[in-house]
Chain A
Amino acid sequence: MKRMWWLALVFIVVLILPLITGEFWVHVLVEILILGLFAASFNMIFGYMGQLSFGHAAYYGVGAYATGLLMVKGSVPLPICLLASMIVAGLCALILGYFCVRLTGIYFAILTLAFGQLIYYIIFQWYSFTGGDDGLQGIIPPDVLLSANAYYYFTLIIVVAALIAIWRISESPFGYTMRAIRENTERTRFIGINIRRYMLINFVIAGIFAGLAGALWGPFNRSIAPDLCTWHQSGIPVFMTVIGGPFNFFGPMVGSVIYTFLMAFVTGFTEYWPLTIGLIITCVVLFMPGGVLGLCEKKIRVFRSRAPQLDPIETTEGKSSGYGG
């Protein structure tokens, strides 16, 4: 119940925030939301399924290009574009995921990486259709969403709806099956669960949400470029998730807040952003496995275990929320 209060508080803050900050920070907020959804979709593969995808930007980029092409070349209304992006990214994830889920561990990571680069080079080289490395310009959102605040609220609604959907999936029997596969694949297979089919479905769902996040990016940035599909872009959700904490549902979002704010702040006075984020990631990996939320949970647990224990069940099990279990 206590968590509900927190959520309500956060929700009120995100509603008011754009009204009191300048336009620059509203843009940063939109970026946080979009990349947060991207990271949350990535964490469906990383957090629940226990596999590291290094080509998740492929679906993000495909989603961005689907919306971009439909809007620039077909003048299709934005809501239909978003839907189309989800479908196209999902189909892409279905075809490529069919092969990816046959592998695990390092092989999974490299195959997703190879497929991601494959998509990148296709978009990069297919000049007549995608505009190659010139990208696509002039992706203008409809008139009602032209102002920064309007686009922020639009993005907020879609991202929150998508996060609720991901949350419901993670708490469904399907979500628990994914956790079982992560914890003990062999045993889950013995129960009679078709591992590959479940992993593929999860992969496709993750691809669909990544496609939605990508679709939101184009109209926000007014243009897209093939860089959206590179392995550097694929690294961003990995970083966010690791900073925030992969074993918590809110981890990717918290990671996105930290990462994007920091980037907006640091790039203000130095061009050495990669150095900064590299050092941060190194510190997180070495000293803080489990991310910021993991650390918070541990501290809370230590704090609670010192206090007189009134309700032992609450202290041992109650706090482990989200993906970790």
Chain B
Amino acid sequence: MNILVYLEERNGQIRKPSLEAIGAAHGLGGTVSVAIIGSAPSAVIDQARKLNVSAIYTASEPRLAEYSSSATGCALAAIAKQAGADVVLVGATGRGKDLAPRVAIRLEAGYVPDVVALSNEGGDIIATHPVYAGKAQMSVKVTTSTKVYSTRPNLWKAPKDSATSEPAIHAVAVNFADSNFAEQTKELILSQGKLDVAEADIIVSGGRGMRGPENWPLIEDLAQAFGAATGASRAVVDAGWRPHSEQVGQTGKTVSPTLYVAVGISGAVQHLAGMSSAKTIVAINKDENAPIFSIVDYGVVGDAFEILPALTAEINKLRGH
């Protein structure tokens, strides 16, 4: 089985979800190659050499100095054909979730988005895809000969730099159409110094129980102690206390962090759907009958306004701050 993994880069570095996709590829077994596409892909080739892959395919195009999903999809499909890929894996990032379906259409391939598990059962690949924001999950088999999947971040281990042999490097010439550049990414504006809830390993979320936006420093202090991102329930986003980008739940972000701390969140079905795949779940709530307590690993029944500062101090102590 030939598996091709797309390597997404940001600021000259291969992004972690792409490395995790290599981890997923090794889990399936087979020959693993990677694709690097950009205006000057040579910048990340050296990083890719250290990965344990058998080949590196590159496509270089000056117009890709301004990222285009359409052009990148065109190039990745061309590379998949040249590499004879049976499986194409793309990390399910903001860009990856646009890219993978394009490749599926171009290769006439079945596609399963945002998979959380991939297994090879006697040659049949079974992909697990959460649906209804994680309230259920589907096992899906792709029935076309070429198969495309995007893999959810934070679930597979990135391979260690352990290349034992030098991978073969192939530069692929791609026939782009002008229409591939009808969309161009002009700039990426990063929110300064803020961890994104969708990518964070630890999340501290606040809900109605925080009583008002003026009390958010308590959430932010605990988040800082953990090195966590801050999240919010739908109720507080709808009330305008916190930005949409922080909302966790069915109409917000679906997250799978190592640790999720819900403070003053009662636990509506749509919120639980967005975070129930977290490895460890903690809730702090005044109401011991709050539904959130039914799905936690650890819960504290008590006043968040007293517990948060005390917990922040404890975590700072543990982490040696």
Q: Do A and B come from one complex?
A: no
Interface residues of B (CB under 8 A from A): none
Interface residues of A (CB under 8 A from B): none
